[in-house]
């Protein structure tokens, strides 16, 4: 518990720059489950952008009992913080590197992408794809003191979603369109038809979901509630694409589509924690990030997993097409190569 912390840490807005992120977890069950599966400290992320001397936080999210608007959106910073506090969120500010010569974001180019995407529905079609990088080393297990671990197996998806597709279009969205995309079949195909088409190409049902998601793949989704064919992005994929559009990766063709929620804050492009503002050090002297809301302490460098967890993957490795597409995430140790 954060003792003596204010309800909202009043960070002067002028300290926040284009491309900075706010990383969030809400202790509602879903976000901790996402964090547990991926080995992340958070379940959501948003990106800061200035426009006409006003600061916005932009994100891909869903309308719910705790959030009033749906899809890809940008809200004034003060409004966002108010809503996040009312929703009992925990959020830390992660500023980009401020040193001379560090990479910076071109806000105009970033806004050009954001303006094209605002109103798009949340990326349900790809929500599992940044997590499922391997055939078995991302699937959760139930631990037993006596018997061997009981783990979810790849074969389960074929049985489960073949049934789900028959009874709930919405529930099937989290898996079936991604398989159809990889199999190269129409989105009105059945899952079994997709598996069959993939098998004819030599792709087995147990491995198709581990094929990395590609930027630019199009899905049937909605924009402002109306059907469209467009890209599909979850929160971290959206933020990564904003960075890419704004030139933060120096033209490197980073494949944002296959990132998971903690891949973004692993990248070594954030400010040295020792240089964080005094107001942040006073409230959280041990926290390398600046927590703006939340009853409990949130640290991006904390467990689960083996350190380091934050700000350590060199940007020079981003040219590797498979960088984000081969990462295991098995609890409780989350052992993975250093480029994961």
CA angle 224, 246, 112 (to 5 degrees): 35
Residue 271 burial (10 A CB sphere; 0-12, 13-18, 19+): buried
- In this predicted structure, what is the pLDDT of residue 56? 98
Rounded Cα gap, residues 263 and 260, in angstroms: 5
Q: Percentage of the chain surpassing pLDDT 90?
A: 64
Confidence of residue 175 (pLDDT cuts 50, 70, 90): very high
The pLDDT of 223-251, averaged and rounded, is: 95
pLDDT confidence of residue 333: 75
The predicted structure's pLDDT at residue 336:
73
Q: What is the pLDDT of residue 306?
A: 59
Report the chain's mean pLDDT, rounded to a whole number: 90
DSSP 196-249: HHHHHTT--TTTGGGSPP-TT--EEEEETTEEEEE----HHHHHHHHHHHTTTT
pLDDT of residue 241: 97
Which pLDDT belongs to residue 301?
86
Peptide bond just before 308 cis, omega within 30 deg: yes
Q: What is the mean pLDDT of residues 168-183?
A: 96
Q: Are 16 and 77 in contact (CB under 8 A)?
A: yes
CB atoms within 10 A of CB 217: 16
- Checking if the pLDDT of 304 tops 60, the result is no
**Confidence tier at 303 by pLDDT (50, 70, 90):** low
Reported as a single tens digit per residue, the pLDDT across 328-339 is: 887 777 777 766
- Report the pLDDT value the prediction gives residue 77, as an integer from 0 to 100: 98
Read off the pLDDT of each residue in 209-215 and give the average, rounded to a whole number.
92
Encoded tokens for 316: 């020079």
C-beta of residue 83 within 8 angstroms of C-beta of residue 75: yes
Q: CA-CA-CA-CA torsion for 120, 8, 95, 273, nearest 10 degrees?
A: -150
- Give the model confidence (pLDDT) of 136-174 as tens digits: 888 888 777 777 778 888 888 988 999 999 999 999 999
Q: Which pair of structure tokens corresponds to residue 188?
A: 């009105």
Q: Are 215 and 227 in contact (CB under 8 A)?
A: no
**Quick one: average pLDDT of 73-80?**
98
Whether the Cβ atoms of residue 195 and residue 206 lie closer than 8 Å to each other? no
């Amino acid at each position: 518990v954060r003792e003596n912390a204010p309800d909202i840490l009043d960070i002067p807005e002028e300290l926040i720059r284009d491309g900075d992120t706010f990383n969030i977890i809400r202790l509602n069950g879903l976000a901790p489950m996402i964090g547990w599966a991926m080995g992340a400290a958070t379940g959501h992320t948003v990106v800061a952008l200035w426009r006409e001397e006003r600061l916005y936080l932009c994100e891909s999210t869903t309308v719910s009992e705790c959030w009033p608007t749906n899809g890809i959106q940008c809200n004034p910073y003060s409004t966002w913080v108010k809503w996040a506090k009312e929703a009992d969120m925990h959020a830390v500010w992660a500023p980009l590197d401020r040193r001379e010569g560090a990479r910076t974001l071109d806000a105009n180019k970033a806004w050009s992408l954001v303006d094209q995407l605002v109103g798009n529905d949340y990326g349900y079609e790809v929500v599992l794809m940044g997590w499922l990088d391997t055939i078995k080393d991302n699937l959760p297990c139930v631990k037993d003191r006596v018997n061997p671990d009981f783990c979810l197996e790849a074969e389960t998806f074929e049985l489960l979603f073949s049934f789900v597709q028959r009874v709930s279009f919405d529930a099937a969205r989290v898996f079936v369109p991604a398989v159809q995309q990889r199999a190269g079949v129409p989105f009105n195909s059945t899952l079994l038809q997709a598996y069959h088409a993939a098998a004819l190409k030599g792709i087995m049902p147990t491995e198709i979901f581990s094929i990395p998601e590609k930027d630019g793949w199009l899905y049937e989704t909605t924009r402002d509630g109306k059907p469209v064919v467009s890209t599909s992005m979850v929160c971290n994929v959206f933020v990564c694409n904003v960075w890419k559009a704004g030139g933060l990766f120096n033209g490197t063709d980073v494949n944002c589509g296959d990132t998971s929620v903690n891949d973004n804050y692993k990248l070594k492009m954030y400010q040295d924690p020792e240089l964080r503002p005094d107001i942040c050090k006073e409230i959280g002297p041990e926290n390398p990030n600046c927590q703006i809301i939340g009853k409990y302490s949130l640290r991006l460098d904390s467990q689960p997993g083996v350190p380091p967890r934050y700000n350590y993957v060199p940007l020079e490795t981003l040219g590797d097409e498979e960088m984000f597409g081969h990462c295991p995430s098995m609890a409780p140790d989350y052992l993975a190569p250093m480029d994961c």
